Amino acid sequence: FQDATVISHLMALLSRSRYTQEYICQIFSHCCKGPDHQTILFNHGAVQNIAHLLVSTSYKVRMQALKCFSVLAFENPQVSMTLVNVSVDGELLPQIFVKMLQRDKPIEMQLTSAKCLTSMCRAGAIRTDDSCIVLKTLPCLVRMCSKERLLEERVEGAETLAYLIETDVELQRIASITDHLIVMLADYFKYPSSVSAITDIKRLDHDLKHAHELRQAAFKLYASLGANDEDIRKKIIETENMMDRIVNGLSESSIKVRLAAVRCLHSLSRSVQQLRTSFQDHAVWKPLMKVLQNAPNEILVVASSTLCNLLLEFSPSKEPILESGAIELLCSLTQSENLALRVNGIWALMNMAFQAEQKIKSDILRGLSTEQLFHLLSDTDVNVLMKTLGLLRNLLSTRPHIDHIMSTHGKQIMQAVTLILEGEHNIEVKEQTLCILANIADGTTAKELIMTNDDILQKIKYYMSHSNAKLQLAAMFCISNLIWNEEEGSQERQDKLRDIGIVDILHKLSQSSDPNLCDKAKTALQQYLA
């Protein structure tokens, strides 16, 4: 790849003999590492030059050409989109690949053509409901996972299938009920088997070498199978010793197995039911917290996403996780250079603060520091900003908490709110910010921080007449909380708001065609009459 003439020279040699065809295809597939190489080969006409070799009379040439396509198309939309429309002797490539999948073909041919069709499907070149995927590719890959296959074939079959179904619910459902796949995968954890240890040293060596890969492949496939469907997750978790296997996987020496186990756990942690039961019974949070201590980023991202789910308010793991020093850990994630880690750190803190007691909220604020909070509120990524606002909103809920936090951090929080309402932000960001103001307006003493801040009052007034109904509604919540009659000082607040023109806007809004706005305005006006 360093000398551009090499590739064109090899392409020119392709037609010399079946040996040059076989070996040059082999050279290309072995040397092609990553998208840059794929593009270079593609631009040198690899697809056109190699396609006709798929119908060669020599099996070895057909096989090497097929391998070449599986390497060229892997995670490459450009190549995959081109392959769909290429035909050889009047037959389109996908049809040629499907013929190579048939049961009477050698296993390596079946597997490799399944990989080609999988790449094309993932790139959007073939639809996921196309019969060549549902009736041919998927069943072929499930067959590769069976006990009859060699260990390396089972690894490749499971990994390819995991990739094929990763983002499609329907394929996940079909795979989960094909040939008892979920039970079949449990066998991947049984290597090296005790029998092989006694009988055959060579076999033991082979098993040991593949044991890691088998576990990694099984975890990956379970993660894909359970990505969306509650019933499938339940089946996976009910498979023999599944939770114990995942927990063991989290502390394996092989980083690839650890990553796959965390992915599997993350997939299963999307289930409310499982968070309440299996995850609790197996104290999954313990090994997970351990994984989070000093893992590389790719593991940290998935592990911290899983932690977000374990910290939801209905999850019984929430308490023990807090006691094991999670706040400190998550606060440090929010300072990461890695965007996904910043998002997950703040997201997990947001989940932790939801309906939490005051002590936890104070610990979060202390751990994060107002300085870091401001830093996050000025993050360039809108996800980080939204989750930070979500955290603030959760911290500022229930009156005593609102008053307590505003008495210690009120000045800084009001500054942050002002900054965001003045900045160039999207509707969702501004809506969240106005909801935070509405929460502050619901405090008993916190209200005063709004009432004595003319700048903020003018902003609320401005958003009441905004062109976007969501923002108008959010601004109305602030007003309603400020003028509510039963509360001390409501008369003075009502008068002040009338003086700045709020009542006139309420009258206008009570004529609004939007039923929500209209109702909210009428309710607010009644407070003035009562």
pLDDT band of residue 256 (cuts 50, 70, 90) is very high
pLDDT of residue 370: 85
Count of domains observed in the chain:
2
**Does some domain include residue 231?**
no
Percentage above 90 pLDDT, the chain: 70
Name the average pLDDT for the chain.
91
The two structure tokens encoding residue 380: 């360039």
User: Could you tell me which residues are beta bridge partners of residue 296?
Assistant: none
**Does some domain include residue 107?**
yes
Judge contact between 503 and 497, C-beta under 8 A.
yes
Total-model pTM: 0.84
Give the span between the Cα atoms of 100 and 469, in whole angstroms.
Answer: 58
pLDDT for 338 beyond 60: yes
Structure letter (DSSP) for residue 243: H
Residue 518 belongs to domain with CATH number: 1.25.10.10
pLDDT for 318 beyond 80: no
Judge contact between 68 and 46, C-beta under 8 A.
yes
By three-state DSSP, how is residue 123 classified? coil
pLDDT of residue 319: 80
DSSP track, 34-49 = SHHHHHHHHHTTHHHH
**pLDDT tens digits, residue range 10-67?**
999 998 999 999 999 999 999 999 999 999 999 999 999 999 999 999 999 999 999 9
User: Could you tell me which residues are beta bridge partners of residue 17?
Assistant: none
Contacts 24+ apart (CB under 8 A), 495-501: 496/451, 497/457, 498/528, 500/457, 500/458, 500/461, 501/461
What mean pLDDT is predicted for residues 469-486?
A: 90
Peptide bond into 192 cis (omega under 30): yes
Give the span between the Cα atoms of 143 and 158, in whole angstroms.
Answer: 10
Give the span between the Cα atoms of 262 and 285, in whole angstroms.
Answer: 11
User: Residue 336: which of 352, 324, 348 has the closest Cα?
Assistant: 348
User: Residue 481: which of 391, 402, 385, 389 has the closest Cα?
Assistant: 402
The two structure tokens encoding residue 117: 């069709």
Spell out the residues 6+ positions from residue 220 whose beta carbon is closer than 8 angstroms to its own: 158, 159, 162, 260, 263, 264
Give the span between the Cα atoms of 140 and 133, in whole angstroms.
Answer: 10
The domain boundary, picked from 110, 126, 142, lies at 126
What mean pLDDT is predicted for residues 89-107?
A: 96
**pLDDT tens digits, residue range 266-302?**
999 988 788 777 877 778 888 889 888 888 999 999 9
pLDDT band of residue 195 (cuts 50, 70, 90) is low
pLDDT of residue 61: 97
H-only helix segments in 250-357: 255-268, 272-276, 278-281, 285-291, 297-310, 318-323, 326-333, 339-353
Least confident window among 105-114, 147-156, 202-211:
202-211
**Does some domain include residue 402?**
no
Q: Where are the beta strands (DSSP E) in 236-382?
A: none
pLDDT of residue 199: 62
**Does some domain include residue 333?**
no
**Does some domain include residue 76?**
yes
pLDDT of residue 198: 53
Give the span between the Cα atoms of 193 and 195, in whole angstroms.
Answer: 5
pLDDT of residue 264: 96
**pLDDT tens digits, residue range 342-390?**
999 999 999 999 988 888 999 999 999 888 988 999 898 999 999 999 9
pLDDT of residue 310: 86
Spell out the residues 6+ positions from residue 199 whose beta carbon is closer than 8 angstroms to its own: none
**pLDDT tens digits, residue range 481-519?**
998 877 888 888 988 998 989 889 989 989 989 888 889
pLDDT of residue 204: 74
pLDDT band of residue 530 (cuts 50, 70, 90) is low
Give the span between the Cα atoms of 345 and 275, in whole angstroms.
Answer: 20
Supply the range of the domain harboring residue 26. Answer: 1-126
Of 471 and 316, more confident: 471
Which amino acid is present at 426?
Answer: N
pLDDT of residue 32: 95
pLDDT of residue 149: 93
The domain boundary, picked from 126, 157, 187, lies at 126
The secondary structure of 374-415, three-state, reads HHHHCCCCHHHHHHHHHHHHHHCCCHHHHHHHHHHHHHHHHH
Percentage above 70 pLDDT, the chain: 98
CA atoms within 13 A on the CB side of 13: 15
The domain boundary, picked from 126, 145, 170, lies at 126
pLDDT for 313 beyond 80: no
- 504-519 b/e (C-beta count within 10 Å ≥ 16 → b): ebbeebbebeeeebee
pLDDT band of residue 127 (cuts 50, 70, 90) is very high
**Does some domain include residue 50?**
yes
**Does some domain include residue 518?**
yes
C-alpha separations of 65 from 41, 55, 240 in Å: 13, 9, 41
**pLDDT tens digits, residue range 379-422?**
989 999 999 999 999 999 889 999 999 998 899 899 989 989 98
**pLDDT tens digits, residue range 200-237?**
677 777 777 789 999 999 999 999 999 999 999 999 99
pLDDT of residue 42: 95
What mean pLDDT is predicted for residues 148-168?
A: 95
